[in-house]
Amino acid sequence: MAELKLEINDGRTTFAPGDRVEGVAGWQLDKPVKSAKLHLLWSTSGKGTEDVGVAETVTFDDPPQVDARIFAFTVPDGPYSFSGRLISLTWSLELTVEPGTHVQRMDLVVSPHQQEVKL
């Protein structure tokens, strides 16, 4: 069994470029942890194949089986979160813990207008 947790300070999920995303990433595994990483990334979804861009990654050193670490990212200038007819672009925080494929994901909105851009 594995339990992963992501929390952002103030429960905020909408950010403008240049804002800080700060919070806590936690995990609890029943076996020794090989690696624990947190990615700030965007991905597309829709009619075509998925595209992904990783803006920043934090690797948590010497992760024990149970832990919670503080993280902080600076939101890049773009791309903005958007939805059109064929594609949505979504920003996310993604915590990945190995061994196994344990993933916890939290979607964010990155936009100067406090909401995703509608095309």
Partner 1 sequence: MTAPRDNPFNMQRLEQLAFEPQGVTWSGLLDRLDALNHRAAIVGPHGSGKTTLLLQLRDTLEQRGRPTALLFRNTDGGPALPDSWRPTLESLDPEAVLLIDGYDHLSWPARTHLRKHRRLIVTTHRRAMLPTLIRTRTSPRLLHQLANRLQTGAIDPHHAAALHATHGGNVRDALRALYDRY
Binding site for partner 1 (CB under 8 A): 45-50, 83-88, 90
- Tokens standing for residue 71: 């993280």
Minimum gap (Å) between residue 19 Cβ and partner 1 = 22
Three-state SS string over 21-81 comes to: EEEEEEEEECCCCCEEEEEEEEEEEECCCCCEEEEEEEECCCCCCEEEEEEEEECCCCCCC
Minimum gap (Å) between residue 46 Cβ and partner 1 = 3
- Is the Cβ of residue 13 or residue 45 nearer to partner 1 in the bound state? 45
Q: ∠ at Cα 57 (72, 104), nearest 5°?
A: 85
- Is the Cβ of residue 3 or residue 51 nearer to partner 1 in the bound state? 51
Minimum gap (Å) between residue 22 Cβ and partner 1 = 25
- Is the Cβ of residue 51 or residue 77 nearer to partner 1 in the bound state? 51
